[in-house]
Amino acid sequence: MALVVQKYGGTSVGTVDRIRNVARRVAKTYDDGNDVVVVVSAMSGETNKLVTLANEMCDFPSEREYDVLVATGEQVTISLLSMCLNSMGYKAKSYLGHQIPIITDSTFSKARIEEIGDRNIREDLKNGNIIVVAGFQGVDREGNLTTLGRGGSDTSAVAVAAALKADVCEIYTDVDGVYTTDPRIVTDATKIDKISYDEMLEMASLGAKVLQIRSVEFAKKYGVVVHVRSSFNDNPGTLVTKEDEDMETVLVSGITYNKDEAKISVMGVPDKPGIAARLFTPLTTANITIDMIIQNVSNDGLTDLTFTVPHGDFKKALKAVEETALEIGAAGVRSDENIAKVSIVGVGMRSHSGIASKMFQVLSQEGINIQMISTSEIKVSCIVDAKYTELAVRVLHQAFGLDKKDTRAE
Amino acid sequence: MALVVQKYGGTSVGTVDRIRNVARRVAKTYDDGNDVVVVVSAMSGETNKLVTLANEMCDFPSEREYDVLVATGEQVTISLLSMCLNSMGYKAKSYLGHQIPIITDSTFSKARIEEIGDRNIREDLKNGNIIVVAGFQGVDREGNLTTLGRGGSDTSAVAVAAALKADVCEIYTDVDGVYTTDPRIVTDATKIDKISYDEMLEMASLGAKVLQIRSVEFAKKYGVVVHVRSSFNDNPGTLVTKEDEDMETVLVSGITYNKDEAKISVMGVPDKPGIAARLFTPLTTANITIDMIIQNVSNDGLTDLTFTVPHGDFKKALKAVEETALEIGAAGVRSDENIAKVSIVGVGMRSHSGIASKMFQVLSQEGINIQMISTSEIKVSCIVDAKYTELAVRVLHQAFGLDKKDTRAE
């Protein structure tokens, strides 16, 4: 008998009929002899409705009360799913964040889980109950309701799985698992059977939207085996787990892309200590997330500095940078909104050389100019002209042998 | 400086704009130098929507989960009202039932309040906060959410007022207060300025729907002064308070009626011990509430037994009674669904005689036949043909001097 944590997202519980489907799947897992803890999101659309209501009420809703409001979405789902399981003859019991409790810090709207009580749930499991947990929500040490930010139910599920030392945390979604790249671009994209936490973190932060990044960090920290799979069929999905020797034999596990960035270059910057700080401090103050930063080798005491920011922050960032550029006597500022970041990810890179240069070669063969490069231990990212995004993804996917089935077995 | 508890019902908080109005009224009370605790219901229509959802989910929703579901209605309102007050520059903080805590027994859907913590609220009041409390909900000693039944927010408000020893508990509604009778029937009906707990209990249980009965019982038990008034204007409403000498000078305070009953008579019942129990036990088992019971004096060892039940239970009751009548050898069963109960209520009756006979006389002058009579210390109820309801109410209202203004000063 295993202890299984299952998480169903908003689409999977979007209607009364879909909740009924989820109940059947949960019941089957229970009938197969497992202890089952289910974590659910709000019914799709509900959270948006609540946010609209808050915005109608006032321009800047206070954060504490905002969390009280949006937390009702998951409360509705857990009660409905529990009712349904009860009516099917199962013992099921809903749990709100504060009833478990899921203790978080007091950062409303993006609280971090600090501690999870397992006594209440364990007791109910022992008595044969199926446990239905409200995702996305917690409670701080003063008893205020908190929420974990969009996609927070993934983190709730992994955290509960960690606290209960569950055998597996199944994340049900509307796709079959994590793919080698976006199947909308590459029809030959294949589902990855097994991926390491670190690769998943890179994949998630580079644009694959299957799992909330923080849930993967949590899974890695506590060694929770995460199984990403579809709630619409019984196919096995993708296992996110700790790195093993098999994984290292694969050079590249996936190709990702991100079109949501813009590039800003400051030209002819005097190469003196403290200049970078002066340039970036106003951006940090304005809460703008800077992604890649490239500083060229200095030439005659002058250097060029280029970085990328999210599209949404582009105008604000550009204005701030232009002001600072003037102050520090830079030669000028250039910008480009039509860029894309294309990345290859794989733990195999650590033990294999030549991966990066192969990437550059493949892109160059297609006449794609590389504007910026950034690397980590397990990924290489290139900034290219946005119009080449799909082409770049396709040729890289093919070049690194991801098109074929059973890449892993090579 | 006073401590004021205000309760706003679903209609008063039915839209974002109405919540804004409530916020203004609350803010004014605070600006006048009072400590303010606000208790709110769900936005009108919301609870019904949630109930519909539960019924779509399954036929007999489990009671525990049903309460988890419907409790979200008030949670939405407290967050919106608190946000609004915050955006107006006031310190406001929402409280869910479990955050206060409002401890109840574990009778889901109609839980009774057992205890209220006042420490958290007092602390926040001391720090200048306006407190916004979710009505209708509580938590049992095991931490399960509970609800108090329809209209339960009145009880929440009175109970919180009792716990905090508030100076007054203002119940805001869509009418100006408690009237001498239904103004839709008697246009000359006047608002009652002051009424005793006992009178209010009779008025409430006899059909005046302004206050939940349990809230009046609570107010009486703890001596909470309740002020029923309109949320749409600033007129003084009706004070529900402990009996004083003024009140006794008024013979009749109000006239009520109830058309929601049906009458069943069992004829020729053998007048033996245990017969009444045999007749009524099946009804009690079926959860049918019996209101009036009349047993005539025995004649030749046979008696007639008549009682009333709510319309909704009539068919079920009649079937049960016909079976029992056969078993005990009664002569037959008669029934009438077209009846109404008309009542006069007033603490003045205790010290004045002749009130009941005046009532009978007034009805007889209009040719209205009295089918059953029942009395308590402070009320007389008569069952009459339903078609005479309005006529009976009107003539009684006039006969007991309620038509004129300032009856109280007589």
ipTM of the complex: 0.84
B22: contact with A, CB 8 A cutoff: no
Query: Over the stretch A88-104, which tens digit does the pLDDT of each residue have?
Result: 999 999 999 999 999 99
Compute the distance between CA of residue A201 and CA of residue A377 in angstroms, rounded to an integer.
13
Cβ–Cβ gap B58/A19 under 8 Å: no
Q: Tally helices (H) and strands (E) across chain B.
A: 13, 20
- Res A298 pLDDT > 80: no
At residue A408, does pLDDT exceed 70? no
Please determine, for residue A407, whether its predicted confidence score (pLDDT) is greater than 50.
no
Judge whether residue B222 has pLDDT over 90. Answer: yes
Name which of A149-163, B29-43, B208-222 the model is least confident about: B208-222
Cα–Cα distance measured from residue A55 to residue B11, given in angstroms and rounded to the nearest whole number = 21
Instruction: Please give, rounded to a whole number of angstroms, the shortest distance from the CA of B90 to a CA of chain A.
Output: 11
CB A48 within 8 A of CB A82: no
Q: What band does A410 get if pLDDT is binned at 50, 70 and 90?
A: very low
CB contact under 8 A, A87 and B62: yes
Helices (H), B226-313: 245-248, 275-285
Least confident of A35-44, A398-407, B133-142: A398-407
Q: Name the closest residue on chain B to residue A143, using Cα atoms.
A: B99
The three-state secondary structure class of A4 is strand
Q: What is the mean pLDDT of chain A?
A: 92
- Selecting from B61, B76, B99 the residue whose C-beta is nearest the C-beta of A72 gives B76
Residue A361 pLDDT: 94
Burial of A19 (0-12, 13-18, 19+ CB in 10 A): buried
Q: How far is A173 from chain B (nearest CA, A)?
A: 22
Q: Which two tokens stand for residue A154?
A: 């993934």
Nearest of A229, A253, A251, A254 to residue A239 by alpha carbon = A229
Confidence of residue A251 (pLDDT cuts 50, 70, 90): confident
**Would you say B173 is a known binding-site residue?**
yes
Sheet with B226-230, side-by-side order of all strands: B92-95, B130-134, B35-40, B3-8, B168-173, B226-230, B238-241, B194-196
Question: Among candidates B108, B16, B21, which has minimal Cα distance to B65?
Answer: B108
- pLDDT (mean) for A24-30: 97
- Flag whether pLDDT at A176 surpasses 80: yes
Residues with Cβ within 8 Å of residue B386, at least 6 apart in sequence = B259, B338, B339, B340
The 10s digit of each residue's pLDDT in A57-77 is 999 999 999 999 999 999 999
The alpha-carbon gap from B137 to the nearest alpha carbon of chain A, in Å, equals 14
Residue B410's pLDDT is 38
Q: Give the chain B residue whose CA is nearest to the CA of A100.
A: B143
First-to-last alpha carbon distance for chain B, in angstroms, is: 35
The reply to whether A54 touches chain B by the CB within 8 Å rule is yes
- Compare CB distances from A83 to B65, B72, B96 and report the shortest one's residue: B65
Contact A83 B94 (CB under 8 A): no
Mutating which of B18, B22, B47, B65 best tests the A interface, going by the most A Cβ atoms within 10 A? B65
Rounded to the nearest angstrom, the minimum Cα separation between B92 and chain A is: 9
| Architecture, CATH, for domain A245-410 | 2-Layer Sandwich (3.30)
Q: pLDDT digits over B280-331, tens only?
A: 999 988 888 888 888 877 778 888 899 999 998 999 999 999 999 999 999 9
Tell me the chain B residues in contact with residue A76 when contact means C-beta distances shorter than 8 Å: 50, 53, 69, 72
The span from the first CA to the last CA of chain A, in angstroms, equals: 34
CB pairs under 8 A between A and B: 117
Closest residue in A to B134 (Cα–Cα): A68
CA dihedral (B26, B32, B36, B41) in degrees, to 10, reads -20
Q: Is residue A12 less than 8 Å (CB to CB) from chain B?
A: no
Which of residues 162 through 201 in chain B touch A, CB cutoff 8 A?
A: none
Q: Supply the pTM of this predicted model.
A: 0.84
The reply to whether residue A87 touches residue B53, judged by beta carbons under 8 angstroms, is: no
Q: Name residue B102's beta-bridge partners.
A: B116
Domain boundaries defined on chain A:
3-174, 245-410
Of B57, B65, B71, which is closest to A16 when you measure between CB atoms? B57
Nearest chain A Cα to B96, which residue? A68
Cβ <8 Å between A56 and B16: yes
| pLDDT at A400 > cutoff 70 | yes
Query: Is residue A93 within 8 angstroms of chain B, CB to CB?
Result: yes
pLDDT band for position B382 (cuts 50, 70, 90): very high
Q: In Å, how far is B23's CA from the nearest CA of chain A?
A: 11
Highest mean pLDDT among A341-355, B160-174, B236-250: B160-174
The answer on pLDDT for B180 being more than 60 is yes
Q: Which residue of A has its CA nearest to B17?
A: A57
B247/B380: higher pLDDT:
B380
Q: Which residues contact B328 (CB under 8 A, 6 or more apart)?
A: B269, B270, B275, B278, B279
Work out the average pLDDT over A115-131: 96
**3-state secondary structure (DSSP) of residue A241:** strand
User: For chain A, what's the residue count?
Assistant: 410
- A-chain residues near B80 (CB < 8 A): 53-54, 57, 65, 69
**Which residues on chain A are in Cβ contact (under 8 Å) with B15?**
none
Given CB atoms, is A83 within the 8 Å cutoff of chain B? Answer: yes
pLDDT at A406 over 60: no
Q: Which residue of B has its CA nearest to A82?
A: B65
A141 is in an annotated binding site: no
Helix (H, G, I), strand (E, B) or coil at B141: coil
Instruction: Please tell me if residue B86 touches chain A, with a CB cutoff of 8 Å.
Output: yes
Q: What distances in angstroms separate CA B221 from CA A220, A371, B207, one per listed residue?
A: 58, 79, 22
**Whether pLDDT at B386 is above 80:** yes
Q: Which pLDDT does position B407 carry in this prediction? A: 45
Compute the nearest-CA separation of B210 from chain A (Å).
29
pLDDT at A171 over 50: yes
Superfamily of domain B3-174: Acetylglutamate kinase-like (3.40.1160.10)
pLDDT band at B276 (very low <50, low <70, confident <90, very high): confident
> Is residue A180's pLDDT more than 70?
yes
A407 is known to lie in a ligand binding site: no
- pLDDT score, position A229: 93
Strand positions, DSSP E, A222-285: 226-230, 238-241, 254-258, 261-270
| A chain contacts of residue B69, beta-carbon cutoff 8 Å | 75-76, 79-80, 83
- What does the pLDDT read at residue B207? 58
Q: Per-residue pLDDT for B135 more than 70?
A: yes
Write the pLDDT tens digit of every residue in B56-109. 999 999 999 999 999 999 999 999 999 999 999 999 999 999 999 999 999 999
Does the structure show a pLDDT above 70 at A276? yes
What tens digit of pLDDT does each residue of A188-242 get? 999 999 999 999 998 876 655 678 888 999 999 999 999 999 988 999 999 999 9
Beta strands in B111-193 (DSSP E): 113-116, 130-134, 137-139, 145-147, 168-173
Q: What is the pLDDT of residue B323?
A: 93
**So what's the pLDDT on residue B330?**
92
pLDDT in the model for residue A409: 38
Which residues on A lie below 8 Å from B65 (Cβ)? 78-80, 82-83, 86, 94
Q: Bigger pLDDT: B353 or A30?
A: A30
B59 at the A interface (CB within 8 A)?
Answer: yes
